[in-house]
Amino acid sequence: MMNRRDLLTCHVTDKSRPAASMGPEFYTNAVLRTHENKEVRFYDDLIKGKLTLINFIYTGCTKSCPRSTGNLAKAQEILGDRIGRDVFMYSITLKPEEDDPAVLRSYARSHGAKPGWLFLTGNEYDLTTLRFKLLRWDHPMLDFDPDQHTGMVRIINDTLNHWTMCPTHATPRQIVECVSWVEATKPYAVRLRENFAKQARLDLETKEAKARGAWRG
């Protein structure tokens, strides 16, 4: 049944999307194409109700992109079976005129991308719009220069509308840590247990670094 507000505004709320989500009105439903040559809509198929990591690359980049993609590949390994289940990764090309699905497929394969990590291309206008919405610079003209990409990964939990961002040149484990920042707060006992495990790992890494003579604390 339509409620009074919907009736008076001639607006029917989309009950299928999370209440906190900004929806396609913000994200757009731009039609993109995956490295598997499948057509997808940006909000409905990629963002809606999901926790996503999004970065921008192009396959011909020889500066920051290889390291960025390599770090994301290692983060993918740490996240394990969460990828494609409750965490999804999207790498969007900045140069659609060069990166068609076949090129992206080869690039994805060379970096060990698994199901749940998509490499995407599309219309240049749509890709620039998405880049501006998700990872824009303060200087407008920089947004139109593909070589001025930020080297950041945007992390979004659409269900809660929680956002954060992390450098793709951070360590893979730091990238994974940032994923937890957009998730619902865990019970105290769980957080305590995880913090003890994290501290134990850090202590072990410090001990190993000292043994190698690499410690500079």
Per-residue pLDDT reduced to its tens digit, 14-29: 667 898 999 999 999 9
Co-location of 163 and 202 in the same domain? no
Location of structure tokens 């900004």: 22
Co-location of 112 and 213 in the same domain? no
Asked if pLDDT for residue 216 goes beyond 90, the answer is no
pLDDT tens digit sequence for 164-208: 999 999 999 999 999 999 998 867 787 788 888 888 988 888 888
Co-location of 152 and 171 in the same domain? yes
Co-location of 148 and 202 in the same domain? no
pLDDT of residue 42: 98
Would you tell me how many other CB atoms lie within 10 Å of the CB of residue 56? Answer: 25
The mean pLDDT value of the chain amounts to 87
Co-location of 152 and 213 in the same domain? no
Co-location of 164 and 212 in the same domain? no
Co-location of 198 and 134 in the same domain? no
Asked if pLDDT for residue 62 goes beyond 50, the answer is yes
β-partners of residue 2 are none
Average pLDDT over residues 109-134: 95
Domain range enclosing 117: 7-183
Co-location of 121 and 199 in the same domain? no
Percent of the chain whose pLDDT exceeds 70: 84
Co-location of 138 and 39 in the same domain? yes
Assign 12 a pLDDT band (cuts: 50, 70, 90).
very low
Would you say residue 61 lies in a domain?
yes
**Exposed e or buried b per residue across 10-33, where buried means at least 16 C-beta atoms within 10 angstroms of its C-beta:** eeeeeeebbeebebbeebbbbebb
Q: Rounded to the nearest 10 degrees, how much is the dihedral formed by the CA atoms of 182, 184, 188, 193?
A: -60
Assign 213 a pLDDT band (cuts: 50, 70, 90).
confident
Asked if pLDDT for residue 11 goes beyond 60, the answer is no
Would you say residue 1 lies in a domain?
no
CATH classification of the domain holding 101:
3.40.30.10
Co-location of 127 and 198 in the same domain? no
